[in-house]
Amino acid sequence: MPAILENSGYSPDRKLKVVGTNPVKHDGPDKVTGRAKFGADLIVPGMLFGKILRSPHPHAVVKSIDTSKAEALPGVKAVCTAVDFPEIPQGSGFGDMTRNIMAREKVYYDGHPVAAVAATSESIAKKALKLITVEYEILPHVIDPIEAMQPDAPILHDYLRTKNDDAEDKPTNIVERLAVSMGDIEKGFAEADVIVEREFDSQPMHQGYIEPQGCVASCSEDGQIDLYCTTQGTHVFRDRLSAILKTDSSKIRVSQSEMGGGFGGKTSFYGEPVAIVLSRKARRPVKIVLTRNEVFRCTGPVSGSRSRIKMGSTKDGKIVAAESQLVFQSGAFPGSSHINAAQAMFTRYALENIEVVSREVVSNRPKVNAFRAPCVPQVVFGVEGLVSEMAAKIGMDPLDFRLKNAAAEGYTTCYGVTFGPIGFVETLEAAKACDHYNSPVPEGQGRGVSAGFWFNRGGDTTGSLTIAPDGSVTILLGTSDVAGSRVSISMMAAEELGVPLDKVRAVFADTSSIGNNRVTAGSRTTFSVGMVIVDSARQAIAEMTRRAAEIWDVPVEGVTFEDGEFRPAGANVGDFDPLTIADIATRTSVSHGAIAGHTEMNVTGEGPGFGLHIVDVEVDKETGRVDVKRYTVVEDAGKAIHPLQVEGQYQGGAVQGIGWALNEEYVYGEDGRLQNPSFLDYRMPVSSDVPMIDTVIVEVPNPNHPFGLRGVGEVPVVPTLAAVGNAIGDAIGIRPQSLPMSPPKLLALIDEANG
Amino acid sequence: MASKTHVTTTVNGDEHQYLCEPTQTLVDVLRNELELTGTKEGCSTGDCGACSVMVDGVLVCSCLTLAVETDGKSVETIEGMAGGGELTPLQRNFLELNGLQCGICTPGILIAAKALLDRNPDPTESEIRFWLAGNLCRCTGYDKIIRSVLAAAEEMRGN
Amino acid sequence: MAEEGYAAPQTVEAAVSLLGAANGDARVMAGGTDILVQLHADLIDPDLIVDIKNIPELCTITEEADGFRVGAAVSGMALMDHAGFNAAWPGVMEGVALIGSIQVKGRASIGGNLCNASPAADSVPPLIAAGAVANIAGPGGLRVVPVEDIITGPGATSLDQGEIIVSFTFPQSPAHSGDCYLRLTPRTEMDIAVVGAGVNLTMDDNGVCVAARVVLGAVAPTPLLASDAADALIGTQVDDAALAEMATATSAACDPISDKRGTKQYRIKTAAVIARRAAERALERARAN
Ligand code: FES
Ligand code: FES
């Protein structure tokens, strides 16, 4: 059962020494010297190089595969195809998963793996791929999700029937229909003085991590599997590998490298199971590192979407109804997180009447994956456009309009959760007070604002803390570190134990050394692991309290722990010199052994996060090019454990959003092949594309957490697309509805605005 | 298969002799033959800058340089930056100002930033942004990278 | 060092004879920033790579009585560091500055940018606008060819088997001359031109334009010398009316495709804008000279 700490111990009056400061992160020195080992950096003796053969067709039946010539090439040690993977029936989650890793009956997208080779060098492996012949029967394909919904569209999966829909029993590309609603939508719109309704579309966005997936797999004759890889979740990888390889989890050990960016994209595996199967056959370690081309063609973007959104407000500024129909593309296999969109799109306003229907659709593109606040920014792009439009129509300041409708503690959301203390109002007020909002919009520019919300997450979390005989502290983590959680968690432990941060180190444990952890995603890690590590520290303190009592020969109640020291609880206990943690720890071998704490929890009690972005842009009216001139992120962190890292999350999220807003997109040719699988043509922002990103950290504590933490990874990207869209709308007179807001599209809008 | 070529390259002051295929890139040789994995490979097409190194004092992408071309030349990589065990002001400022998140872009950015400061000890924000345009970072939004370089430059100028 | 697969000759003659003697596919490599990408993407599979960067003549910039001579393999950064050339040809340098990142420019050369023969190559329009000529060495000796005659189509040049460009000669510009290259890309850097325009103008003492060259990139299979656009400026004071006429002629000259980097209509429309802005900037420079 999801649980919270019985007594979080949160107190606004707690004097903090470590939490809230900006120490150098412990993984930093290795990362500025090249010592840190990422996914592609492991070199082991006897290692082979694996390469994957990929389909050039977006949709085809695999009639036959002949690997004999490749096998005969000197230096080739193993070749594998789908027959080397356990058969799992289609139509189940793992059936889809194994087929995404290696195509079986059909290929479903340009780049879908069909075979793989392990050889003594990369160049031999590449040559061997060319010697494999695959006979395809090419099928008609469909890329666009709306086209994929049409009755005559090519069908990807014969087994697929729409979930939660009473359509007739025949194959379809529509995976699921889901609905979220509250109140009475008709009644709501009947009360509206102003109604706005528009359609919006967004493109899938690649997570764009700079480190391509890389791994080394090594399998022994007795079936043990060792996998080293870059991942957002070692345990999730292990458990899924166990399912698709039909091997006990206990025989699979997954260890993580440093991760060179993930943003959701490394919550799923791609080449890793292939490396394992090749290693099983070759009986040697196999390394697979994806190329950038493979990363773009085959690893997940987040879903693109279509939305029709309708909202109504009274003339004094109360939003009375909100309605939407959504379509999300999930790529070749089901798996879009569109429930997030349905639940979060309007959440932040205290609405009473909501109706959202969302559909998820497969088409011949790579299967989607998570990306920061999966599926939310692209629909907020529409909602926040309409919110600003309504504010303008009734003549209210856009922030005042949002304030008037802001959700607060006690509001029950459309998905049934009643908010505890939240900081949306405080965030809006901080935005209103910030310098950017109070500066006039420079001549020739446009300004936009947008709000955003993310649930924040908890989930399965395990942590362990041990105290060495010298009093220094080691923390074992089973989660990943995307941007500094190791130091943030160490800071919380240091605070709780009253020791200097320098005495604490957090290290990764592999899946065989620690209990399960959910993926590092959804802004859950620093929050959840912080919670379990504080709990572990408290266990260690309790044990040391007992030992102090034993040393002094007093009852346990006679000992208190303060400022890192065990002291007599009162004068009547006796006159003892305080004992430090080191004083007690040093006696482990003459008392009761090592001192440790460990906690396994399915964490809940997460505090929702809210943000408000302000952006100024300049649009070149003759070319449609956009320059982002000024940007401010205002966001509630609950508590910033390490403020510089929190700012970094805000800034990084905003710039990713700017890229998605302006230029990033997937371009498919008529032939169903991806035309821009490179950084050059995918066009992520470079340093000269963006300004400094100003930040305002709001702190409305989440009392369920010992230090009031919420989580800061997702919210920063949520408002960005809409904020940029609103600013462009302000600059050119028409608010764009289609992402990306690239120069050709904007020039067309500008021409339209000029008649 | 083409026979391998014998190449002698000085890397971070140490002479290395190795055999490589004529089409093998410098980044491949650095990482896989010399096991200097501090230089990263994010794209292999010159678009991310993760593989930035100096060859005879010139900043280049090691993914767009053949190893055979560096015969008799001198290469500097991130592993050679903290000479004598001391972090350089650039490295230190990146640590102190949080100029890195995941750190995969960091070696390339440090090499590129050093090349800039060697030429221009007092760059403006905009000069830094344009100089580093070939170094993608997906984590930081660049803000703290630029600030780290500005602060290092100031420190190195002795202010 | 001349091993199978890779050769780095020290003289032009040696390079030419290596290329002439090669059986199979021999490729010339200067900075390598295009051919190594093609090589590793399996788009080409050469039997021999001839690295021309070790030939001194190809790597030097000299100022001669009749103008600058720039070795074909001189890197972008070396050119950017040459104060004299920067002062003489700011428009050429604007094109050079846009060839990839600083890292790429550490190796990429104008010879390579030209011989890669992309219609969107950034240094080519200003080179043509400048009236530069290519000095070519080959089995048949030396020949001199205007830069506009080198590219014959996407990825194709008029160089014969075994020929290499040794250097480019830039004419001495008359008084009151100025050049400029501008391009349009969605991002500020690291992009391929959606359209590009190089303009080179010469004015007389009375402020009348006596010579003009307008060259467009990425709007046709090859960089396009738009003589109608230039003619719209010659004999005028390059006032708004002349510029508007030039813009119209520019759009008319365009014959672009729609691709991942831009649509046909968008290219035609913006080529006129970019060409006009480049002309305005070139005019400012010409007036200041
Ligand atoms: S790996 Fe060389 S630029 Fe990306
Ligand atoms: S810190 Fe992760 S890419 Fe730059």
Residue-wise pLDDT for A734-745, tens only, equals: 999 999 999 999
Residues A478 and A585 reside in one and the same domain? yes
CA nearest neighbour of A22 among A647, A739, A681: A647
Instruction: Determine, yes or no, domain membership for A595.
Output: yes
Percent of chain A with pLDDT over 70: 100
Q: Is the residue at A180 inside a domain?
A: no
User: Is a pLDDT exceeding 90 seen at residue C4?
Assistant: no
User: For residue A477, what pLDDT is reported?
Assistant: 95
> Are A373 and A498 in a shared domain?
no
Burial A718-731 (b: 16+ CB within 10 A, else e): bbbbbbbbbbbbbb
Q: Which CATH architecture has domain B5-80?
A: Roll (3.10)
Lookup: tokens for B125: 């924000």
C151 within 8 A of C173, measured Cβ to Cβ:
no
B58 in contact with A, Cβ within 8 Å: no
Q: Identify the three-state secondary structure at position C214.
A: strand
Is the Cβ–Cβ distance between A415 and A407 less than 8 Å? no
Same domain flag for C163 and C228: no
CA dist A559 and A568 (Å) reads: 5
Mind giving me the DSSP string for A488-539? HHHHHHHHHHT--GGGEEEEE--TTTS-----S-TT-HHHHHHHHHHHHHHH
Rounded to an integer, the average pLDDT of C172-190 is 96
Residues C203 and C246 in one domain: yes
SS3 of A42, please? coil
Residues A467 and A452 placed together within one structural domain of the fold: no
Residues whose beta carbon lies within 6 Å of some atom of ligand 1: B 41-44, 46-51, 61, 63
Domain check: are A255 and A132 in the same one?
yes
Q: Is the CB of B104 under 6 A from ligand 2?
A: yes
Q: Which residue of C has its CA nearest to B62?
A: C103
Q: Domain total for chain A?
A: 3
Domain with CATH 3.10.20.30 in chain B: 5-80
Give the N- to C-terminal CA distance of chain B in Å, as an integer: 57
Cβ C254 vs Cβ C269: under 8 Å: no
With pLDDT > 90 as the criterion, what percentage of chain B qualifies?
94
Please provide residue A11's backbone torsions phi and psi, each rounded to the nearest 5 degrees.
Answer: -145, 130
State how far the Cα of A492 lies from the Cα of B148, in Å rounded to an integer: 26
The answer to whether the beta carbons of residues A514 and A476 sit under 8 Å apart is: yes
Name the packing angle between helices A743-753 and A720-732 (round to 10°).
40
Total tally of structural domains belonging to chain C = 3
Do A96 and A237 share a domain, yes or no? yes
Buried b or exposed e, range C90-99, using 16+ CB within 10 angstroms: bbbbbbbbbb
Cβ of B138 closer than 6 Å to ligand 2, yes or no, is yes
Beta bridge partners of A306: A201, A327
Biggest distance spanned by C-alpha atoms of chain B: 57
Reported as a pLDDT band with limits 50, 70 and 90, residue C2 is very low
Q: What is the rounded end-to-end Cα distance, in angstroms, of chain C?
A: 47
End-to-end CA distance of chain A: 60
User: Where in the sequence is the domain holding A566, given as residue range(s)?
Assistant: 3-36+458-603
Alpha-carbon gap: C267 to the closest alpha carbon of chain A (Å): 9
Query: Do the beta carbons of residue A132 and residue A53 sit within 8 Å?
Result: yes
CA A310 to chain centre: 28
pLDDT band for C61, please (50, 70, 90 cuts).
very high
According to DSSP, the residues that pair with A3 across neighbouring strands are A603
Residues A468 and A394 reside in one and the same domain: no
The pair of three-digit structure tokens given for residue A112, joined into one six-digit string = 């879908």
- State which residues form the domain around C256: 177-288
Using CA atoms in the order B128, B132, B133, B139, what is the torsion angle rounded to 10 degrees? -110
The answer to ipTM > 0.90 is: yes
Q: Locate tokens 């310098």: which residue? A: A435
State whether C186 and A625 contact (CB < 8 Å): yes
Q: Please check whether residues C267 and C234 belong to one and the same domain.
A: yes
Fold category of B83-157 in CATH: DNA polymerase; domain 1 (1.10.150)
Q: How far apart are CA A141 and CA A161, in angstroms?
A: 19
Tell me: do C127 and C203 sit in the same domain.
no
- CATH number of the domain that residue C19 is part of: 3.30.43
> What 3-state class would DSSP assign to C102?
helix
> CA of A124: which chain B residue's CA is closest?
B1
Identify the DSSP state of C168.
E
As given in the structure block, the two tokens for residue B104 are 């995969």
- Note the pLDDT tens digit of each residue in A128-152: 999 999 999 999 999 999 999 999 9
Residue A161: inside a domain, yes or no?
A: no
Q: Is A358 domain-assigned?
A: yes
Instruction: Say if residue C102 is in the same domain as residue C182.
Output: no
Q: What is the CATH number of the domain that holds A516?
A: 3.30.365.10
| Four-CA torsion A323, A329, A333, A338, nearest 10 degrees | -30
Co-location of C165 and C209 in the same domain: no
What span, in angstroms and rounded, lies between the C-alpha atoms of C29 and C35? Answer: 7
Query: What mean pLDDT do residues C201-218 have?
Result: 97
How far apart CA C58 and CA C50 sit, in angstroms, is: 13
* b/e map B20-51, b = 16+ CB within 10 Å: bbbbbbbbbbbbbebebbbbbbbbbbbbbbbb
Beta-strand relationship, A579-580 and A595-603: unpaired
| C211 and C227, same domain (yes or no) | yes
Cα–ligand 2 centroid distance for A252 (angstroms): 30
Boundary residue ending a domain (C130, C151, C171): C171
Output the residue whose Cα is nearest ligand 2's atom 4: B137
The DSSP bridge pattern shows strands A319-331 and A354-362 to be: parallel
Give the up-direction half-sphere exposure of residue B84: CA atoms within 13 A in the CB hemisphere. Answer: 2
Q: What is the mean pLDDT of residues C155-159?
A: 95
Q: Which DSSP letter does residue A154 get?
A: P
Decide: A94 and A240 in contact? Cβ < 8 Å. Answer: yes
Mark yes or no for CB contact A680/C194 under 8 Å. Answer: no
B→C interface, C-beta within 8 Å: 2-3, 5, 21-23, 25, 44-47, 49, 52, 55, 58-61, 63-66, 68-69, 71, 112, 115, 130-131, 133-135
Residue A729 has pLDDT above 70, yes or no: yes
Range list for CATH 1.10.150.120 in chain B: 83-157
Torsions phi, psi for A503 (to 5 deg): -85, 0
**Per-residue pLDDT averaged across A369-383, rounded?**
96
Q: Are C190 and A686 in contact (CB under 8 A)?
A: yes
Question: Scanning the structure block, which residue is given the tokens 């933490």?
Answer: A709
Angle at C174 between CA C170 and CA C178, to 5 degrees: 75
* Residue whose entry in the numeric block shows the structure tokens 């909602």: A383
What is the enclosing helix (H) or strand (E) of A197?
Answer: strand A194-202
DSSP one-letter string for A108-151: -STT-EEEEEEESSHHHHHHHHHT-EEEEEE-----SHHHHTST
DSSP C56: G
- C183 close to C197: Cβ distance less than 8 angstroms: yes
Q: Given a cut of 50, is residue C218 above it in pLDDT? A: yes
For residue A124, the chain B residues in CB contact (below 8 A) are 1
Based on the domain organization, do C63 and C44 belong to the same domain?
no
Residue A382 belongs to some domain of the structure: yes
On whether residue A192 sits in a domain, the answer given is: no
| Ligand showing the shortest atom-to-Cα distance for residue A211 | 2
For residues A24-32, give the mean pLDDT.
97
Q: What is the mean pLDDT of residues C278-288?
A: 97
Rounded Cα distance, A556 and A546, in Å: 6
Same domain, C223 and C248: yes
Q: Which residues of C touch A747 (CB under 8 A)?
A: 266, 269-270
Distant-in-sequence, close-in-space partners of C173: CB < 8 Å, separation ≥ 6: C88, C130, C179, C200, C202, C289
Q: How many other C-beta atoms lie within 10 A of the C-beta of residue A195?
A: 16
pLDDT confidence tier of residue C3, bands split at 50, 70 and 90: very low
Please tell me what DSSP assigns to residue A385: H
Identify whether residues C207 and C144 lie together within a single domain. no
Nearest residue in C to B52, CA atom: C103
Whether residue A321 is predicted with pLDDT greater than 80 in this model: the reply is yes
- CB distance from C191 to chain A under 8 Å? yes
Residues C181 and C166 in one domain: no
Pick from A327, A177, A626: which is nearest to C185 by CA? A626
* 3-state SS, residue C29: strand
Ligand 2 centroid to Cα of residue A209, in Å, is 8
**Residue A652, amino acid:** G
Is residue A153 included in any domain, yes or no?
A: no
Mean of the per-residue pLDDT values of chain C: 95
**Closest to A543 measured CA to CA, from A575, A505, A508, A588:** A588
Q: Specify whether A489 is located in the same domain as A637.
A: no
Report the pLDDT averaged over residues A573-592.
94
Report the alpha-carbon distance of residue C105 to residue C87 in Å, rounded.
Answer: 19
DSSP 8-state assignment for residue A683: -
Q: If you take atom 3 of ligand 1, which residue's CA is the nearest one?
A: B46
The pLDDT value recorded for residue B84 is 75
Q: In this model, does residue A513 exceed pLDDT 50?
A: yes
pLDDT of residue B2: 58
The CATH number linked to C157 is 3.30.465.10
At C230 the three-state DSSP class reads: helix
How much of chain C, in percent, has pLDDT values that exceed 90? 89
Q: pLDDT for B41-92, tens place per residue?
A: 999 999 999 999 999 999 999 999 999 999 999 999 999 999 777 999 999 9
Calpha distance A723→A384 (Å, rounded): 8
- The model's confidence at residue A166, banded by pLDDT at 50, 70 and 90, is confident
CB A558 within 8 A of CB A579: no
Q: Is residue A741 classed exposed, middle or buried when 0-12, 13-18 and 19+ CB atoms within 10 A define those classes?
A: buried
Task: Please tell me if residue A676 touches chain C, with a CB cutoff of 8 Å.
Answer: yes
Q: How far is CA A401 from CA A2, A193, C16, C249, in A?
A: 36, 15, 74, 50
Tell me: the pLDDT tens digits for C158-175?
999 899 999 999 999 999
From B31, B47, B55, B60, the mutation candidate for ligand 1 (largest count of ligand atoms within 8 A of CB) is B47
Q: What is the pLDDT of residues B117-156, one digit of tens each?
A: 999 999 999 999 999 999 999 999 999 999 999 999 999 9
* Whether residue A740 has a cis bond before it, omega within 30° of 0: yes
Mean pLDDT of C60-74: 95
Degrees, nearest 5: CA angle A16-A19-A21: 105
Predicted TM-score (pTM) above 0.95: yes
Rounded Cα distance between A132 and A530, Å, is 50
Phi, psi of A688 (to 5 degrees): -80, 0
Residue A577: partners with Cβ closer than 8 Å, 6 or more residues away: none
Q: In the predicted model, is pLDDT for residue B1 greater than 50?
A: no
Looking from the CA of A22 toward its CB, the CA atoms found within 13 Å total 13
Asked whether residue C114 falls in the same domain as residue C148, the answer is yes
With CB atoms and an 8 Å threshold, state whether A747 touches C189: no
In the complex, which subunits touch B with 3 or more CB pairs below 8 angstroms? Answer: A, C
Is the Cβ of A452 closer than 8 Å to some Cβ of chain B?
no
Residues A411 and A401 in one domain: yes
Q: Which residues contact C5 (CB under 8 A, 6 or more apart)?
A: B2, B3, B5, B21, B22, B23, C47, C48, C49
